[in-house]
Structure 1
Amino acid sequence: MKANVTMKALSVAVLGLAGFAFAGSSMAACPAGPTTAEGGAWSAKAETDGTFAVTTGGALTTECRGSSTILATAGSLASATVRDDTPTNEARYRAQFYINADALTGFTGLQGAQVLQVQSAAAGASSSRQMLRATILPGGASGKQIRFFLSNNVAPSYRTLGAPIDLAAGWNRVQIDLVTGASGSVKIWVNNGTEASPTQTIPSTGSVDNSSWVGVDRTFMGLSAPTSEYVTAQATRAVGFDEFDSRRQTFIN
């Protein structure tokens, strides 16, 4: 269900850990679910008033995709995510995933939900483990945008916001390059394969201090923390996720 590629040492080449389906698997059938216990490759899943299932027909050439759905009974703490525990206090973390939000129709107003969370091994200055998150929200030519929030040590918000980035119809490729420490930052590429020209950098100039978060320890992908407006309008509609890939340094082509 996932291809997770993590460098074992900063000075060596990327070593692949083969997963299922999120990176072009040619297997004929999808696993029963996303976790290793279900035949997938994710460490765990979190389903609270939501479901994260495996269905046929992924992005590009993949056989299967992740299908994340928030239920009509959901509250603000709802989640339908998968978790990757491969990182270990990573000072630098690159990750890529594909997202398809075409099922979200009439996506307007205050509707929104998280689609990615990158967490530290320990809570930072805000007393939360969350170092970086991405939220899908209404806007742009296709009616959908993605917005990133980078944590920092400065009260009261403890975060630096990026501007919303337009998503296209269909599958969208999203890649991040997160640097932690006293000179923290994140670069973001959306449907953009040119490493030298990221779609957005947070902060736009300089850096932020996010050293209290230690380093990247785990990542969640899928829908979580929906607004009440999202639940009212978009409950039971599935958002697709596919081709997750994570590394320490090299750009993901």
Structure 2
Amino acid sequence: MNTKMKVLSLALVGLAGFAGSAMAACPAGPTTADGGAWTSKSVLPPSTSSLTIATPGLDSTECKLVSSLGPSTTASSFVRYNHASPETSYRFQFLVDTNALSDFSSTDNVVVFQAPAQNTANGFNRLLRVSLVAGPAGAKRIRFIAQCGSGTFSCAQSFATDLTPGVNRIEGFLKVGAGAAGELKYWVNAAAGTTEPTESGSIANLDNAAWGGVAAASLGLTAPSAAFKTNHATQAVGFDTFDSRRTTYIGH
């Protein structure tokens, strides 16, 4: 089994499942039709929502994906990659640059990553959401919302350290299974290296087998809160170096 599923660097030019900083040029757009590597993109009204590729990238790459939303709670601006088959052991990593976002109010939040599921269960068609949420004094933090098999069917945890200004590295490891076999581990701005360190946080006993497995990856901005819509319309967020694997820690 190949442990590397998809590397979409350079915002995300792909070649045989891999892209790196040595590749020559940025694509016209993020999807395969534009020369990129993502299956599809979604940019929903208002017309000021935007999804573009810009230079330079965030990780010594040629370019990055830049997403911004118009002033609507139904706006979205993201790309999606459909996996060939659902994954029950799923690691992912991406870079997110929040430097252009002004300070967050207490109710500012927006989704930056989703893992759509093979099955819809208990009213949800996804296994995981990763969101930007408010920290103290205008800071931004990262929150993980994993589907789980009891209660409201959502188990959430916010990382209790503010994101750094500018670029942040997010990595996660989602296991899909019954009872304690379902688990999420995550790392936020882990030290450089490819040996797995102690995780920044985890959510155990997800009991998430009903959702089948991770069917796709979605990267960009969607599901803004009313406060985010009001306070951050047209403010850009950058993304780069998306990587997904089955078993091995990604690191950097």
TM-score bracket for this pair, using the shorter chain length = 0.7 to 0.9
Q: Retained in 2: the 8 A contact 1:131–1:150?
A: yes
* Equivalent residue number for residue 235 of structure 1: 233
Q: Quick one: distance in 1 between partners of 2:127 and 2:222? A: 16
* Structure 2 residue 192 is the aligned partner of structure 1 residue 195: no
* Equivalent residue number for residue 5 of structure 1: none
Q: Quick one: distance in 2 between partners of 1:121 and 1:18? A: 21
Give the TM-score, by structure 2 length.
0.87
Q: Retained in 2: the 8 A contact 1:24–1:61?
A: no
Deviations 1:161-187 (A, max 9, x none): 113342111111100000001121100
Which residue identity lines up with residue 187 of structure 2 in the other structure? W
SS of residue paired to 1:37: helix
The count of residues paired between Structure 1 and Structure 2 equals: 235
Structure 1 ranges of 4+ moved more than 6 A: none
Q: Quick one: distance in 2 between partners of 1:130 and 1:51? A: 24
* Equivalent residue number for residue 154 of structure 2: 159
* Structure 2 residue 16 is the aligned partner of structure 1 residue 25: no
Change (3 A) 1:250 1:140: farther
Q: Which region of structure 1 is more displaced relative to structure 2, 217-226 or 116-125?
A: 116-125
Which residue identity lines up with residue 140 of structure 2 in the other structure? K
Q: Which region of structure 1 is more displaced relative to structure 2, 160-169 or 240-249?
A: 160-169
Give the TM-score, by structure 1 length.
0.86
Q: Quick one: distance in 2 between partners of 1:227 and 1:114? A: 9
Change (3 A) 1:108 1:61: same
Structure 1 residue 225, shift from structure 2 partner: 0.3
Q: Quick one: distance in 1 between partners of 2:138 and 2:246? A: 32
* Structure 2 residue 61 is the aligned partner of structure 1 residue 65: no
How many percent of aligned residue pairs carry the same amino acid?
Answer: 37
Structure 1 residue 87, shift from structure 2 partner: 5.1
Which residue identity lines up with residue 31 of structure 2 in the other structure? T
SS of residue paired to 2:228: helix
Unaligned runs of 5+ in 1: 1-8
Q: Quick one: distance in 2 between partners of 1:189 and 1:15? A: 18
Q: What are the within-5 Å matches in structure 2 for residues 77-96 of structure 1?
A: 77-86=74-83, 88-96=85-93
Deviations 1:164-223 (A, max 9, x none): 3421111111000000011211000011146230001113xxx12111101110111111
Which residue identity lines up with residue 58 of structure 2 in the other structure? A
Q: Quick one: distance in 2 between partners of 1:186 and 1:37? A: 33
